Amino acid sequence: MPAHFLLEAPIGLVPVLLFLAVLLYFDSYRLISLNEMILTLAAGLLAAGAGYFVNGALLGATGLPFDRYTYFVSPVVEELLKAAILIVMFARNRVGFMIDAAIMGFSVGTGFAVFENIYYLYVLQDAGDLGTWIVRGFGTAIMHGGTTAIFAMLTQSLIERRGRSALYLFLPGLILAVVIHAIFNALEGTPAVAMLAAMVGLPPMFYFIFTKNEFAVHQWLVKDYASHEQLLEEINNGEFTHSEAGRFILSLTNKFDKKVVDHMFEYLKLHTQLVLRAEQITLAREKNEKIERRQQDHDDLVRLEELERLIGSTAMMALWPHLHFSRRELWEIHHLHEAAA
């Protein structure tokens, strides 16, 4: 191993990892768990590995010169592979706000960049120079994280506006990520310009998103916490049975066993209690308060899953549209799982 490899490797790998660490530091709500961070980084690494084989096959199949291929084809392939990971996260309600969308997106791109730069470190260990690794470490790697973060943030914004997830909502962010990636590749003749564009453009964007969205997160948490407290009070004092959802659950007595209907009411109450607990934890993190793990949280989550089985998939499908659980409530339950693990 050449001696200069020991200098080139940190320059190629550390900047993007440091950028990711800074994003995590500014996430005062700790919206991303350690497990999710490891998962997204690993997924990015796997996506880059897949990209190596896909790009190799397409380069041969298209017969395009290498530079043309990197301008028009590889940005589409690589952004699609990275976006696919985020699409799965969105589909499983693992993204709740713009902040965690940005961090998850950048984390996937970081994994992709780390794999790519390790590969090039191996291939170019005798041919590369310090300038190459300054550009790759501070430019290309940051670009990979930035484009995936932009895709995730734009997608989250569209889903928030529509109130639901749909395939067409992923297209604008994907197109924008591909265009930015292609422009970056087209600037290979002036790599310093591409590197400066990535380094100068991304930090202000993230700062704006984080400062604006942290206030929105706080407002939503406070408002939602109050509404869930009110709902729980209505369930406890019997007022909920007079609401539209309560009357609908009672009407199911004609179709399902009374015990199943009782389980439905218990499910709604327990789900509300768990969402309140998740919001308490998130608000405590905002204030840097110590959060104690409770066995009760784990037991309640186990009971919630047990109730879903007892109610059955048919009854749950009939009940679900009337419960008006939002994507963010499902995201909160997931994070409570993480906290109770």
Over residues 105-137, the pLDDT tens digits come to: 999 999 999 999 999 888 876 655 777 788 888
Predicted TM-score (pTM) of the model is 0.82
pLDDT at 238: 84
Q: 2: closest CA among 131, 122, 118, 135?
A: 122
Distance CA 187, CA 170 (A): 26
Hey, where are the domains in the chain? 5-215, 238-340
CA–CA dist 117, 11 (Å, integer) = 10
DSSP 40-84: HHHHHHHHHHHHHHHHHHHHHHH---HHHHHHHTHHHHHHHHHHH
Q: How far apart are CA 257 and CA 265, in angstroms?
A: 13
Percentage helix, strand, coil for the chain under 3-state DSSP, each rounded to 5: 85, 0, 15
Q: What is the pLDDT at residue 319?
A: 77
Percent of the chain with pLDDT strictly greater than 90? 43
Smallest CA-to-CA distance from 332 within 273, 292, 266, 287 is with 273
Least confident of 55-59, 72-76, 173-177, 289-293: 289-293
Mean of pLDDT over the chain = 87
pLDDT at 324: 66
Radius of gyration for the alpha carbons in the chain, expressed in angstroms and rounded:
24
Task: Kindly state the DSSP code that residue 293 receives in the 8-state scheme.
Answer: -
> What's the pLDDT score for residue 153?
95
Q: Which of 282, 272, 258, 265 is nearest to 338 (CA)?
A: 282
The span from the CA of 339 to the CA of 341, in Å, is 6
pLDDT higher at 123 or 148? 148
The pLDDT, as a whole number, for residue 57 is 96
Q: Residues 51-107: pLDDT tens digits? A: 999 999 999 999 999 999 999 999 999 999 999 999 999 998 889 889 999 999 999
Give the best-scoring range by mean pLDDT among 117-121, 123-127, 315-319, 335-339: 117-121
Say how many C-beta atoms besides its own lie within 10 A of residue 324's C-beta: 9
Reported in sequence order, the residue ranges of 58-121 that DSSP labels E, i.e. its strands, are none
Please give the pLDDT value at position 115: 96
User: pLDDT-derived band of residue 329, with 50, 70 and 90 as boundaries?
Assistant: confident
Cα 212 from chain centre: 18
pLDDT of residue 125: 67
- pLDDT(14) > 70: yes
Give Cβ neighbours of residue 13 (< 8 Å, ≥ 6 apart).
114, 117, 118, 137, 141
User: Average pLDDT of 271-285?
Assistant: 88
Q: Give 102's contacts (C-beta < 8 A, 6+ positions apart).
A: 23, 149, 152, 153, 206, 209, 210
- In whole angstroms, give the CA distance from residue 159 to residue 269: 27
Least Cα distance to 109 among 74, 72, 79 occurs for 79
